[in-house]
Structure 1
């Protein structure tokens, strides 16, 4: 089987194997690892062969992975899940095995025992949920910002919980990220969900800074040079900017239709996956009803969607189809350099279940 870029990235991230450092030839440079094929009632130990085939005349050949004895446990078109626990490789044939059954507390077996380890560290989540319920009982909370900015709902929540404002890329509360948003019963009015902010990898980009990006694509408005726009692989925006996903190379390019600029800012997909994993290992997406009282906005926090462990392999597809987009929020400072409050990567409002495993919705009142 081809070891596709998301598989290679996963193995490298879990320190299981790095295909980039591996020579070619299965016999000469192939690596064999122990792998366990896990089912509800039994498990089987097999050998996983990881190798890069000998180069062809005009093509290097894709890295490969093969599980010896796999035909005894899988057939054509079956879907296999690979995962790593404490440095050991496991696989599940999720076409034949109902993983939901393994999560049933009444069932015992090798798969159930492995999957239920994810519930070992729930104390911070229970503590946070208790505090949110207490906050919800207080009713509407006044905004701490004078203007009705997008960030006001989150700032008010952090202030009420006693969480200091910071620009850290890490989670907000004991390993849990908080994402508050104004609820809306009208799908078209629901806002995209902010995932993380990450500047391009300048060492592989054509341009060298956000100042250069602003110089090329910015405009003058409200007394300053700015670039406020959304970039998507699904369309070209008014500034002529779009995304292209180069999965084979593991890159995301921001491109301009202005000739001859083309790709000018580049992110390594692996770096974007790492940012997503670090920011959203565990997340509370908190919905609030918003209302204006005497000219000031108030928020009543009503419900929580609790997610764990984003599906990192989905990132490429969601970027490619425009379900994940990126916002530029650049303004020129008095010194002449650019100040960027992003680039902020955001998820379409109804795609949460595509990026995260089945989540739990909890009503606070």
Structure 2
């Protein structure tokens, strides 16, 4: 995303409010004096994507010149009003015919530096200027209709409430492991351990568990890069290049690092490129920039949305009873479907990160990993998943 389009704090709060009602993909464009003066907006990569995917317009099929412009109506949510504005989609004769969009009469209502939120609802472009107003919540509730898988959600709530006041023996009662708290819950609910892309509970709700008191990051999903488009062709290659001698396993190289939006000790950092539609992991050491590996937007989006149609984040108390480990699942937070364009924005803000977690010998044998994965801090869940709801169950 263009850094100029990144939301400020007050704008981020308005985005979260919008996403309380609408979890569709979106694009952000900040208005400039030039845009308003010339009555034209450059259609950014994210905006072109949602317009194409919703079949409003595919700029690849739009010829250059004013005679080929496409006119459709859009809805603009402004203050307390829902306005219908004629919108033109076109490619000018100048330059390479870069895709443009303009909403007629838009500049009557908008000042320079206003951040605009674009999304699509029922084949109509919806435009929301992020202007502070006490009326926004009411306006959004009038326009959008919330859509929940209410029956599946209620069934999960009921089943969790039944077990929440019980101390349940761990699947590994004599040895602690980070996975035990989740696998114990899955066994109790009759769910097979899940390493596939779909959500745990009836394919509709992902279950994420951790022990109470831990402050580690939430794992969103595990996913290695697309090696076919990457400079390095395997996790082993990356571990041997950027890893360090293991302190626990003689002869091995470890790579247990978090990669964010600024270079870490290995020089690794992430950058989501909306134009290329690729998440790049690069390295910068002593001023030398090197491309390392890549993920295609389309594959990451599919993985994220299949894994998290809705998510239940559970916290379990741990207790030793009769010499065996037991869990009590007494806290749950429910979140909605993530928005992929928000996911890539959070990568560029350093809020969503990627963890390498594995080791290998120098001769490339003995490879082992704990799942290289995208992660987010619990305090930032709402930035990706929107409105959250918390349930607390009392212990016996």
Please state which band the TM-score falls in when normalised by the shorter chain: 0.7 to 0.9
Could you tell me which residue of structure 2 aligns to residue 216 of structure 1?
Answer: 241
Q: Note the C-alpha offset of 1:92.
A: 3.5
Distance in structure 2 (CA, Å) of the matches to 1:97 and 1:28: 42
Checking the alignment, whether the CA contact within 8 Å between 1:9 and 1:270 is kept in structure 2 is no
Q: Please say if residues 226 and 329 of structure 1, whose CA atoms lie closer than 8 Å, have aligned partners that are also in contact.
A: no
Number of the residue aligned with 1:83: 119
- Following the alignment from structure 2 to structure 1, what is the Cα–Cα distance between the partners of residues 54 and 385? 19
2:288 matched to 1:278?
no
Q: 1: distance between equivalents of 2:74 and 2:210?
A: 43
Structure 1 partner of 2:24:
none
Output the CA distance in 1 between the equivalents of 2:52 and 2:359. Answer: 37
Tell me the equivalent position of 2:90: 51
Question: What is the CA distance between 1:225 and its match in structure 2?
Answer: 3.9
5+ unaligned residues in a row in structure 2: which ranges?
1-40
Deviation at residue 314 of structure 1 after TM alignment: 2.6
Matched, 1:348 2:387: no
1:329 corresponds to: 357
Q: CA deviation at 1:241?
A: 2.8
Contact 1:132 1:364 in 2 (8 A): no
Q: Secondary structure at the match of 2:159?
A: helix
Deviations 1:242-262 (A, max 9, x none): 334444433322223468781
- The alpha-carbon distance between structure 1 residues 293 and 343, as it changes in their structure 2 partners (threshold 3 A), is same
Structure 2 residue aligned with 1:169, among 197, 201, 204? 197
| Count of residue pairs brought into register by the alignment | 347
Identify the match of residue 102 of structure 2 among 26, 46, 66: 66
Any conservation in 2 of the 1:314–1:355 contact (CA below 8 Å)?
Answer: yes
Structure 2 CA distance for partners of 1:78 and 1:235, relative to 1, 3 Å: closer
Partners of 1:317 and 1:267 in 2: how far apart?
Answer: 15
Query: Taking structure 2 as the reference length, what is the TM-score of the superposition?
Result: 0.75
Asked whether the equivalents of residues 283 and 289 of structure 2 are also in contact (C-alpha less than 8 Å), the reply is: yes
TM-score calculated relative to the size of structure 1: 0.80
After alignment, is 170-179 or 252-261 more displaced? 252-261
Asked if 1:199 corresponds to 2:236, the answer is no
* Deviation at residue 205 of structure 1 after TM alignment: 1.4
Comparing 154-163 and 31-40, the one that deviates more: 31-40
1:237–1:71 Cα change, 3 Å: closer
Q: 1-side partners of 2:112 and 2:352: how far apart? A: 32
Instruction: Tell me the equivalent position of 1:106.
Output: none
Secondary structure in 1 aligned to 2:293?
Answer: strand
Name which of 160, 169, 174 aligns with 2:188: 160
Kept after mapping to 1: 8 A contact 2:277/2:296: yes
Aligned partners of 2:238 and 2:276: how far apart in 1? 23
